[in-house]
Amino acid sequence: MPYKINFKHADDIIADLDTYLPNVVDPMLKIKYVGFVSVAAVTCYENAVKEICCTYADSINQTFGTFVSNYFERINGRIRINNIRGDYLSKFGDSYCKAFDQYLRIENDEFLKSDHRDFMTAYENLITWRHAFTHEGSFRTSTTTYEEVVQAYQDGKMVLSCLHSSLFKRISGI
């Protein structure tokens, strides 16, 4: 299955909330929806990370694919960029970490020029917001808006595109 299918869950929630949320007047309820979207988005990210790595491993060897699939049953939200690089890609080899870093740098530079936002920061922020919501039972950063969380989710998808490229579209010389 292509990894982008994993985004459907959060995309559907966002599409529904886009029609509903403008009518919500209670600011505390809006904050809870922000937290809810952050949880759904990071869950989709986590599933995409698993999908990308497991599909790659399976393309190398079915036994290796099974091993990686079993390994990824235990990642439990550990999908920060440093986790992807150090905990997952490093298991495939240093060249994959270098490729990931190179894709992140190249793509983020382009994204900064075209969209004037940093998708790596957006990705990390979304994980931080999700963590605050799920582990503190509240949304610590109550100044974060629904629109900011949705934008961060959309921008953060680029990290997963870079992960996919680092495994399936190797840069020559790495």
Residue 61 lies in a domain: yes
| Cβ neighbourhood burial of 62 (10 Å; 0-12, 13-18, 19+) | exposed
Separation between Cα atoms, residue 60 and residue 91, nearest integer Å: 14
Is residue 18 domain-resident? Answer: yes
Asked whether residue 8 is domain-assigned, the answer is: yes
Question: Is 173 within the bounds of a domain?
Answer: no
Domains identified in the chain, total number:
1
In angstroms, the CA 115 to CA 137 distance is 33
76: left (phi over 0), alpha (psi -120 to 50) or beta: left
144: domain range?
Answer: 3-168
Contact (Cβ atoms closer than 8 angstroms) between residue 65 and residue 50: no
What pLDDT tens digit does each residue of the chain (174 aa) get? 589 999 999 999 999 999 999 999 998 888 889 999 999 999 999 999 999 999 999 999 999 999 999 988 877 779 999 999 999 999 899 999 999 999 999 999 999 999 999 999 999 999 999 988 887 766 555 678 899 999 999 999 999 999 999 999 865 555
Q: pTM for the full model? A: 0.92
